[in-house]
Amino acid sequence: PHILIFFFKIKTDYDINDYEIGKRHNLEMIDALDENAVLNRYGMHYEGKDRFTVRKEIAKELAEKNLLAKSEDYVNKVGTSERTGAVIEPRLSVQWFLKMKDLADPALRVVMEDEIKFWPEKFKNTYRHWMENVYDWNISRQLWWGQQIPAYYYGDGEDDFVVAETREEALKPARDKSGNPQLSDADLRQDNDALDTWFSSWLWPMSVFDGILDPDNKEINYYYPTNDLVTGPDIIFFWVARMIMSGLEYRNEVPFKNVYFTGIVRDKQRRKMSKSLGNSPDPIELIDKYGADGVRVGILLSSAAGNDLLFDEDLMVQGRNFATKIWNAFRLTQGWEKEQDAEIPAASAEAITWFREQFAKATAEMADQFAKFRISDALHILYKLIWDDFCSWYLEIVKPGYGSAIGAEVYRQTMEFFEDLMKLLHPFMPFLTEEIWQSIAERSATEALVISRQKEIGTYDAAVVEQFEQTQEIVTGIRNYRQSKNISPKDSVEIFTNAANFHNEAVIHKLGNVTAIYFETKTDKPAYSFLVGSAELSVPLSEKLDLDEERRKTEEELKYLKGFLQSVEKKLGNEKFVAGAPAQVVENERKKQQDALEKIALLEQKLTAL
């Protein structure tokens, strides 16, 4: 048999991976460079020369001795200093370390047992990986600024030091350890290294309340532990894990109950925003262009919890447009004339009843999303409540006709809704909402929106909400008729339906410009028909319409639907598909079949009438 022997170079002092291999195999650690990256005696005849110079000279020497097989360029990732551009290379040196294993075990337990909850929960796996493979923490830094390490040397040996808060306090233990009672203050020198900044940050939940120097003071006892920490997943180990460790170590209690991880904003190439890459937008310029509230909402609408956000300036446009929509809605209400003692129109009464329940429903849904730390989803609910429900539906119903006034009671209720919406929106858009809040009524500093209380979250009448959804479908169907047939909104229409009644009939009359609704009645005239649930609605066609063209369009639509129905029935007629596909997929196909059959029946009736 052949024995294959492989050789590969191990640089235990200058490569992190090689260093780990060297430790596993008990290899000698040979340091051939001094602190200035100049070769020492291990560099033989290159001693005293800079590493970059030696690299070139070695290649030259190998070539001169005919030992160089070939020389070629290749691409490699080389780290450089952000400030100086200098190449960053590992080097073995003496540092201060904090042993982590005993600190990490209890900190891992409290997260895995949900004593501290992570939102989203997926980051528990990242946390567990870090904590189960924890390294001792290098807490010393070779910097000119920071908290100087409180170690005092009295000799040249590695162990010739003591640790104390001050030089004066270090003198006695230094004399005891050295055995030299004549040791003086001048003989001590403090370690030049500074503590890692994270070594200060891991104490943050306690240090902000002076809980280190005065661990039983009133503030620390009241505020510790806090409820929620908001941070990024990129510092889950550097900061989050270490704060948990320090809290358990020094106070025997977790520092917080929830950790909410925001997404990381990246550029379109999925690179993290950084000064060195120059890919970070100027927030001041964005605010000048889109407004502070527009920027906040634009980003929040697009950043689901824990997911990274690919930054696009178009996101800010959506935020600015939302702010503009709200401001224009406010201006609309301020332009209305008020009429005292006016009766509440039926349509307005129906709108008020509906929006009160719709608001309560949205508030409950938002509270549920907030409880799950799904901030973006909560904002989406509020966005729809304001843009669609309040602006597009409620205001359209209650606004007075041209030249008319709005009843004082309807106006009062409308502005109460507006105030409640501003309270909900304030955390997302603080500047716009506070401006509107102060403009609705004259208020003192103690009545500012920022310190106002939200309405209590209560129950809502689901039936009222569902009934209005049917109303919206009916109005939308009428609007679709007008749009598809090019019928002016000013031209009134009639509705014939097989339904016994409709809820919110006054709203249908107003928004659809409907003169009459004939229940449980069919029309014998050519009509535009549509379904809302099980109810069939028919709008007699305007005399202005070209009936031949209408017949042609109906026949085309009917042909398409019959072809679609045939493809669905072919699927359902396949025993393998019905037996093998998921139940939900089969059910969806059956629903498509039923919907197509109902639409075909309507179109055939329409053709007969035409």
CATH of the domain at 217: 3.40.50.620
* 606 has pLDDT over 80: no
Is residue 156, in this structure, part of any structural domain at all?
A: no
* 28 has pLDDT over 90: no
More confident residue, 563 or 277: 563
Please write the tens of the pLDDT for every residue from 234-275: 999 999 999 999 999 999 999 999 999 988 888 888 888 877
pLDDT above 70 covers a percentage of the chain that reads 98
Output the pLDDT for position 580: 82
Residue type, 481: Y
Please write the tens of the pLDDT for every residue from 99-132: 999 999 999 999 999 999 999 999 999 999 999 9
> Which pLDDT band holds residue 609 (cuts at 50, 70, 90)?
low
Average pLDDT, the chain: 91
Is residue 55, in this structure, part of any structural domain at all?
A: yes
Do residues 488 and 575 share a domain? no
* 389 has pLDDT over 70: yes
Is residue 218, in this structure, part of any structural domain at all?
A: yes
Give strand pairing partners of 323: none
119: left (phi over 0), alpha (psi -120 to 50) or beta: beta
Do residues 50 and 138 share a domain? no
pLDDT above 90 covers a percentage of the chain that reads 63
> Which pLDDT band holds residue 21 (cuts at 50, 70, 90)?
confident
Is residue 594, in this structure, part of any structural domain at all?
A: yes
Question: Looking at residue 569, which CATH number applies to its domain?
Answer: 1.10.287.380
Please write the tens of the pLDDT for every residue from 132-163: 999 999 999 998 888 999 999 999 988 999 99
- Total domains in the chain come to 5
Please write the tens of the pLDDT for every residue from 52-91: 999 999 999 999 999 999 889 988 888 888 788 888 888 8
Domain that holds residue 251: 97-149+191-261
341: left (phi over 0), alpha (psi -120 to 50) or beta: left
Lowest mean pLDDT among 204-208, 361-365, 508-512, 542-546: 542-546
> Which pLDDT band holds residue 1 (cuts at 50, 70, 90)?
low
pTM exceeds 0.85: no
Q: Final residue of a domain: which of 261, 286, 313?
A: 261
Output the pLDDT for position 370: 93
**Chain-centre distance of CA 230, in angstroms?**
11
List the structure tokens of 511.
Answer: 């928004």
Is residue 319, in this structure, part of any structural domain at all?
A: yes
* 414 has pLDDT over 70: yes
Do residues 531 and 563 share a domain? no
Mean pLDDT, residues 345-364 taken together: 98
Q: Final residue of a domain: which of 372, 406, 440?
A: 440
Question: Looking at residue 85, which CATH number applies to its domain?
Answer: 3.90.740.10
Mean pLDDT, residues 450-475 taken together: 94
Please report, for residues 296, 386, 419, the alpha-carbon distance to residue 438 in angstroms, rounded to integers and kept in the order given: 21, 19, 10
**82-86: which pairs have CB atoms within 8 A and are 24 or more residues apart?**
82/275, 82/276
* 545 has pLDDT over 70: no
Mean pLDDT, residues 221-225 taken together: 96
Do residues 104 and 244 share a domain? yes
Do residues 534 and 556 share a domain? no
Do residues 519 and 532 share a domain? yes
Is residue 270, in this structure, part of any structural domain at all?
A: no
Do residues 531 and 552 share a domain? no
Is residue 431, in this structure, part of any structural domain at all?
A: yes
∠ CA(173), CA(196), CA(14), 5° rounding?
A: 100
Mean pLDDT, residues 292-315 taken together: 85
Do residues 488 and 505 share a domain? yes
Output the pLDDT for position 302: 80
Lowest mean pLDDT among 54-58, 408-412, 540-544: 540-544
Strand ranges (DSSP E) for 123-197?
137-138, 140-141, 151-153, 161-163, 189-190, 194-195
Do residues 536 and 584 share a domain? no
* 511 has pLDDT over 70: yes
Please report, for residues 141, 491, 496, 518, 559, the alpha-carbon distance to residue 610 in angstroms, rounded to integers and kept in the order given: 87, 21, 16, 20, 17
**Chain-centre distance of CA 445, in angstroms?**
32
Question: Looking at residue 302, which CATH number applies to its domain?
Answer: 1.10.730.10
**Chain-centre distance of CA 179, in angstroms?**
61
Is residue 290, in this structure, part of any structural domain at all?
A: no
Q: At what angle do helices 314-334 and 283-290 cross, to 10 degrees?
A: 40
* 399 has pLDDT over 80: yes
Do residues 486 and 522 share a domain? yes
* 565 has pLDDT over 70: yes
Q: Final residue of a domain: which of 386, 411, 440?
A: 440
- Residue 537 sits at φ, ψ, to 5 deg, of -120, 140
Do residues 467 and 600 share a domain? no
Do residues 324 and 398 share a domain? yes
> Which pLDDT band holds residue 450 (cuts at 50, 70, 90)?
very high
* 587 has pLDDT over 90: no
Please report, for residues 130, 306, 457, the alpha-carbon distance to residue 133 in angstroms, rounded to integers and kept in the order given: 5, 23, 45
* 546 has pLDDT over 70: no
